[in-house]
Structure 1
Amino acid sequence: MNFLSTSLFVVAFIVATTLGQEVVPLDQRCLGCICQAISDCNTNAKCDGSTCGLFRITWAYWADSGKPTQDGQGPEDQDAYPNCVNEPYCAARSVQGYMNRFAKDCNGDGAIDCLDYAIIHKLGGYGCVGGQITGAYAEKLNQCLVQTG
């Protein structure tokens, strides 16, 4: 699945200002690049160990995102987590919910933007401040952001 396909997932957040920091919404471009960086947007990715789906979401991440579900399923149903995070649209809603809850300026540049969202996605909402992303994830993210800029 390519970036253009992943762009179908998203409804952008409302732009807001918090504590003097500009908050850039988690838009289609950013969500698509996070997907590319974390799994190459592999729609065949299912649960493997503690992560599931094309965004490689853990149960705790999904729970912190508000436990989105699909097809009227209740969030406490035993298979609500894998059913959501293994389905691209529901998984994207989970990422959006997580970013809405944990949005912060991880890298200290005075803005909350796509790089911060990517750090939050990789390091978690509680571990992003002062955190950095490296390796293949960082390379793929930066390449995608440049290509889609």
Structure 2
Amino acid sequence: MASAVIKFCAIFMLIAVCAADVSELGRSNPQPVTEVCLGCICQAVSGCKQGAQCEGDHCGLFHITWPYWADGGKPTINGLPADHPDAFPSCANDPYCAATTVQNYMARFGQDCNGDGQVNCYDYMAIHKKGGYGCKGDLPYDYVNVFNQCVAAVAASQQG
């Protein structure tokens, strides 16, 4: 468990740096998703395996699809135009650009998915998995379980 927490912390720091870099991309709105939440979504989706590439229709640490990327504003890296054939995979496979995509997507589709009167990380986790228009349904057990374990591990590490 200790090595899993250390690995998570390394990924968490990478995503935290990413979230700080996102502010330089011209968005004036504060980012809706915290670094911890981004890290736990990443953990639930892909295990935050560094170097994750495209598999089928999804790419990168967050398993982003082309429609998700488009709804997230089509951010790009290295000045690549959004209509370039490599724009989507290069962004989705880059942790910084992928996190920007997630932030933009959540800014657009953020809503109370579980009916608790708040829009928070649990809602963002549901939106990420089920999309901006279908987040109120049941979620896969394994996805939610890994997400909850991640949140609990972060909380425990902050207490001790």
When the two structures are superposed, what TM-score results if normalisation uses the length of structure 1? 0.87
Per the alignment, residue 120 of structure 1 pairs with 127
Q: Determine if contact 1:54/1:86 at 8 Å carries over to the other structure.
A: yes
- Encode CA deviations 1:42-75: one digit per residue, 9 max, x unaligned: 1222111110111000000000000000011111
Paired position in structure 1 for 2:158: none
Corresponding letter in the other structure for 1:106: C
Deviations 1:90-129 (A, max 9, x none): 111111111111000011100000000000000001111x
Aligned-pair identity (%): 50
Task: Tell me which residue corresponds to 1:140.
Answer: 146
Letter in 1 for 2:153: Q
Counting helix residues as a fraction of each chain, which structure ranks higher?
2
Paired residue secondary structure (1:44): coil
Which letter maps to 1:69?
A: T
Equivalents in 2 of 1:76, 1:2: separation in Å? 35
Unaligned runs of 5+ in 1: 16-24
Give the drift of 1:5. 2.6
Residue in 1 aligned with 2:100? 93
Taking the aligned partners of 2:99 and 2:7, their CA distance within structure 1 comes to 15
Q: Distance in 1 between matches of 2:142 and 2:77?
A: 31
Over the aligned positions, Cα root-mean-square deviation in angstroms equals: 1.7
Question: CA shift at 1:136, angstroms?
Answer: 1.3
Once residues 148 and 93 of structure 2 are traced to their aligned partners in structure 1, the CA distance between those partners, rounded to angstroms, is 25
Query: Which residue number corresponds to residue 6 of structure 1?
Result: 11
Question: Does structure 1 residue 46 correspond to structure 2 residue 62?
Answer: no
CA contact (8 A) 1:85 1:91 kept: yes
